[in-house]
Amino acid sequence: MNNVFQSPKVGVDHVGNLKIRIEHYQKFCPFDVEWSDFIWDVTDSCPSHSNKAHTKSFLYFSRDNGKRAKAKSAVADMKPFHNESLAEIAKCHICDLQIQKVKTVGYLQSIINAYRFVDLALLGNQLGVDGLTNNVFVKAEKLSIDKLENSTAYWGGSRLSGISQFIDKYRLTPVKTKFNSTLKRQDTQVPSDTKIDLENSTISHKKMPDTEVLKAIGLLSSEGLDGDDGLFLAITEIIFATGLRFDEVITLSTDFLYEVEEEEYNEITGDYDTISYWEIKYYGKKKGHWRTKVIPDVLVPILKKGFDFILEYLAPVRTVLEEIEESGGYNFFPSISGVCFIGDENIYKLLGSSNSNATSRLKKLNVTIEERKREVPVEGKANVANSFIASELKDITSDKAAKSAKDLWTKLKSKTTATSLSRMLLITQHQRHHDKKKTNYWSFCTITDTQYRDFITGRDTMDDVNSIFQRRNIIVDGINFRITSHQFRHYLNTICRLGGNISELEIARYFGRAYMGDNQAYDHSNKAKMVMDKADDILAANNITKEQAVDAMTIFNLVDSEEALDAMQNMATSQVSSIGLCQHDFNDSPCGKHYACLRFCANYKRIKGEQSEIDELIRIKEQQEQHIEEAKEAVAEEYWGANNWLHSHQELLDGCIAALAIEDDDSIPEGSVIQVFPEGKDKCEAIQ
């Protein structure tokens, strides 16, 4: 057995247990770090998010900075935990988690952040690790609730529970803490979104993009931006059309969008129909594997526009990567050769904005710089000047480019559907999109969320970083725009809910969620308000005041409770089709007899007088009559199985006749929902 998993035995002395635990994890530390440091470089030990794949990753065992949530401190201002022993426990805990299974930097840092609240709770009570009790954890949880956003407070409590379990498991305190967070997932997933009062409606509204913002983005899209602004607008269009997370967008491949054509068997007609639709493939951040998603036809033009722009705009980067993948390197300086003098304008402009900038860059690249005499004197230039050999610069930058591409692909290849780095849509070069700094052509990276936020939101703390709306002076109805990429997911999720015919399971799958309950945090349809608005419309249409309606409900017992529950269940599970309604609960299971409504299914219902249903039923009836004539001929010719086909078509024809018969029944009022086959069978068994 691997020694890493041979954990030391737990004794009765908590001080000795901690000492042994520290020695064990120092020996089998999964990170290449100095144990005593309070900042650990874990770049090569932890997987990173796609948009940070090219940056270094650190774990900060530093105390709470006293600032608001998510406010960062400069490394120089960071200080270790107030309680040194607690920091040692935190380091042991992080190593233990990483040994069990490799974790992301973000996950491990969230554990450390929870330890910070324990550190503050100990400091507030003037206690050491020996004083760690359940009460200390309760106080730490209160501190986390006060500082964290409502949507993340649950995770803070969950991390504190994990810390308590780790400490109790290895007996690192005199008494067991036995702490379990009181926070529940549903308590922090913004249940207020369905309430009608002004406060909760305002909270919900902040998560949705303003109508004016959508208008402004539409205005930018119609104007057709170019350059980097066009690039980030194209990303916006892709996010809006797909509802993908930012991390999922930047890992898209160059062939992520494609048209699908397939044949579908129609059980009603007995024919195969060819259908076509647009689909995307992407790597799902939450599910951890590649997924597909159908794009509604109305959004396809928006998606194509953004996709085509990015494909063309970043084509030069992919050309370089293709050359590196084919030949192992790339010549970034084809225009120079031999000895090059840095002071010459045609030389230093290849590397920087001035002679000194070019010299600094060459030194960073470790290119040999020597004073040499010019073979041919140049007017206004010294005969002896700093120079370098072009071939050395070419070799160094080519090798750096190959290494950068290899390292980036190593981190990204498991997070994309692309087959190589050159087939990724949003790979770029370091500082390529910086308006002041020189592009580092031999260093590759993904588009970062910081770059995108600067485009769409700007920075309040920096006057020279303005959003696209500020720079182009776009104001609609006096609104100053603020939007995040995630607001588009809230918007599209709400649109799906407003549609009314999409189940929670389907919504969760469409947005790539691991937990169906997460839909609630993205649903701002305000269900209660929608119902009340519809009720007001009905009352107004019949000249009934709200007071009169209340009086009527008080005087008359309209339905008993059992009947009301049945009616609510029918409303909740009815599905709309071209020939009527299906009562089958698609949230529970798929329909095992799809399109078999007319074959005497008890779940099939019709609305009397609904012309679209009548037209479709007549079309099917006429088609079946034709099929029956053909089947009768086949029976006469004694074809094998012809009787079965005749019986099938006759059953469907009889169903059409029965469904249309309600139109001739004068006892049934127009608009009534009728169960066509009350004595029929439930033919909607789930597919086995």
- Arithmetic mean of pLDDT, 63-88: 86
pLDDT over 50 at 3, yes or no: no
- pLDDT score recorded for residue 536: 56
The pTM score is 0.59
- pLDDT score recorded for residue 521: 65
- pLDDT score recorded for residue 590: 52
- Arithmetic mean of pLDDT, 537-547: 55
- Arithmetic mean of pLDDT, 49-55: 72
Cα gap 212→205, rounded to integer Å: 13
Q: Which two tokens stand for residue 246?
A: 């930012």
- pLDDT score recorded for residue 571: 39
- pLDDT score recorded for residue 531: 47
Residue 340 identity (one-letter amino acid): C
Which helix (H) or strand (E) element contains residue 83? Answer: none
- pLDDT score recorded for residue 553: 41
Judge contact between 555 and 543, C-beta under 8 A.
no
- pLDDT score recorded for residue 137: 94
Three-state secondary-structure class, residue 155:
helix
Helix ranges (H only) for 246-364 are 246-250, 300-313, 315-327, 345-351, 355-364
- pLDDT score recorded for residue 683: 52
Instruction: For 544, list phi and psi in degrees, rounded to 5.
Output: -110, 125
Q: Which residue has the higher pLDDT, 547 or 356?
A: 356
Cα gap 639→627, rounded to integer Å: 15
Q: Which residue has the higher pLDDT, 596 or 199?
A: 596
Binning pLDDT at 50, 70 and 90, where does residue 339 land?
very high
pLDDT over 80 at 397, yes or no: yes
pLDDT over 70 at 44, yes or no: yes
pLDDT over 60 at 243, yes or no: yes
- pLDDT score recorded for residue 97: 93
Tens digits of per-residue pLDDT, 403-458?
Answer: 999 999 998 988 899 999 999 999 999 989 887 788 899 999 999 888 888 887 77
- Arithmetic mean of pLDDT, 96-110: 89
b/e code 623-651 from CB counts within 10 Å (16+ = b): bbeebbeebeebeeeeeeebeebbebbee
Least confident of 110-119, 467-476, 598-607: 467-476
Judge contact between 304 and 312, C-beta under 8 A.
no
* % of residues, the chain, pLDDT over 70: 75
- pLDDT score recorded for residue 474: 72
Cα gap 644→471, rounded to integer Å: 72
Mean pLDDT, the chain, integer: 79
Binning pLDDT at 50, 70 and 90, where does residue 478 land?
low
pLDDT over 50 at 569, yes or no: no
- pLDDT score recorded for residue 68: 77
- pLDDT score recorded for residue 120: 93
Cα gap 348→373, rounded to integer Å: 18
Cα gap 367→397, rounded to integer Å: 10
Judge contact between 405 and 398, C-beta under 8 A.
no
Tens digits of per-residue pLDDT, 292-301?
Answer: 888 888 888 8
Binning pLDDT at 50, 70 and 90, where does residue 199 land?
very low
- pLDDT score recorded for residue 687: 36
- pLDDT score recorded for residue 71: 75
Tens digits of per-residue pLDDT, 126-176?
Answer: 888 889 999 999 999 999 888 887 667 778 888 999 999 999 999 999 988
